[in-house]
Amino acid sequence: MGIIEWARSPWGQDVPIHIAWALIYVAAIGGLIFLVVHAIYVRYFAKQEEYSGGASAAAVAHVPDRVARHSLAARMFHWIMAASMFALLITAFLPKVGVQFPWVTYHWIAGAVLTVSIIYHILHATFWMDFWSIWPDKTDMQDASRRLKRFMGQEAPAPRRFGKYPLENKMYHAVIVLTGLAVILTGVFMMFRVRTAFFPRNPYLFGDMTWGLMYVLHGLAGVGLIALVMVHVYFAVRPEKFVITKSMVFGSLPKDYYLEHHDPERWSVETSSSSSRGASA
């Protein structure tokens, strides 16, 4: 089975037109397999995480009972983005599996909402938040190496507690950024092929080959988001992660959870200004 469907242009040129829609099922099944394998691993094989060191008494004394994690602005962005993402997936793929409705208008509106929310988030994270806290740093890489060695049965020091975001969150964020930008950038250009409120329709903006490759990239990123969203929702509802999900609703974490999983030296919450700073939601 090919992953791209082709057509013959009026000039006799073979051009890509979109992905093979069977990839929808591949992405969904792949995401489901990951969820099942991970749940089995956690249930029967995973060991309790051990960390090196610990917070000093002075650091603990300055930690409030509720540790601010996400500002109201960050939480609103997250839920608006989530709603638009689900709307995009529903309007994009339900027609491809047989559920017919006037999806094009709803799809580009949801895409416009997602695009505006992402632009807002980039500006907010750059100028009002700690932009780099969501990106992997040297300590993350060192601790990832330690975890891998210990998993393989080799001698290695225990990893340190995380900063504001664990490494797996940072890696997921990087993947979702690349995938989301691919969807948004191609989607903005594809809006020229339909009638919208933003700019006049112009299907001749690009040649057939360029349009075809754009549709293929948009489709590949879209089916990738199916699996990525499944994984995100799965971790959001896992019992050991649910406290983080609640922080995206209420904005804060319990002090005990913070001290157990996070390093006050890497994520300082001693002052209101530092505790309110964050990275991407």
Written as one string, the DSSP assignment of 50-119 is --SS---HHHHHT--SEEE-S-HHHHHHHHHHHHHHHHHHHHHHTGGGT--S-HHHHHHHHHHHHHHHHH
Which CATH number, 3.10.180.10, 1.20.950.20, 2.60.40.10, 3.30.200.20, labels domain 15-38+62-275? Answer: 1.20.950.20
Distance CA(212)–CA(255), nearest Å, equals 52
Checking if the pLDDT of 280 tops 50, the result is no
For residues 274 and 268, the answer to whether their CB atoms sit within 8 Å is yes
Q: Which amino acid is at 272?
A: S
For residues 96 and 118, the answer to whether their CB atoms sit within 8 Å is no
Domain ranges (residues) in the chain: 15-38+62-275
pLDDT grade, residue 137 (50/70/90)?
A: very high
- Digit-coded pLDDT (tens) for 51-71: 887 777 777 888 999 999 999
| Maximal CA-CA distance, the chain | 75
Structure confidence at residue 161 (pLDDT):
93
H or E element, residue 129: none
Give Rg (Cα) of the chain.
22
pLDDT grade, residue 268 (50/70/90)?
A: confident
Closest by CA position to 264, among listed 161, 169, 128, 170: 161
By CB atoms closer than 10 A (0-12, 13-18, 19+), residue 132 is exposed
Q: Which amino acid is at 11?
A: W
Token duo for residue 164: 């504001």
Beta bridge partners of 146: none
Structure confidence at residue 276 (pLDDT):
39
Checking if the pLDDT of 184 tops 70, the result is yes
For the chain, what percent of residues have pLDDT higher than 70?
Answer: 95
Closest by CA position to 202, among listed 186, 214, 190, 216: 190
- Write 165-170 long-range contacts (CB < 8 A, 24+): 165/133, 165/134, 165/279, 166/261, 167/136, 167/140, 167/143, 169/134, 170/134, 170/135, 170/136, 170/140
Mean pLDDT of the chain: 91
Checking if the pLDDT of 271 tops 70, the result is no
Go through 63-73 and write b for each residue having 16 or more CB atoms within 10 A of its CB, e for each that does not.
Answer: beebbbbbbee
What is the phi/psi pair of residue 39, to 5°?
A: -60, -40
Token duo for residue 12: 């006799």
Structure confidence at residue 100 (pLDDT):
85
pLDDT grade, residue 1 (50/70/90)?
A: low
Can you say whether residue 101 is alpha, beta or left, with left for phi > 0 and alpha for psi between -120 and 50 degrees? beta
Structure confidence at residue 48 (pLDDT):
83
Structure confidence at residue 270 (pLDDT):
54
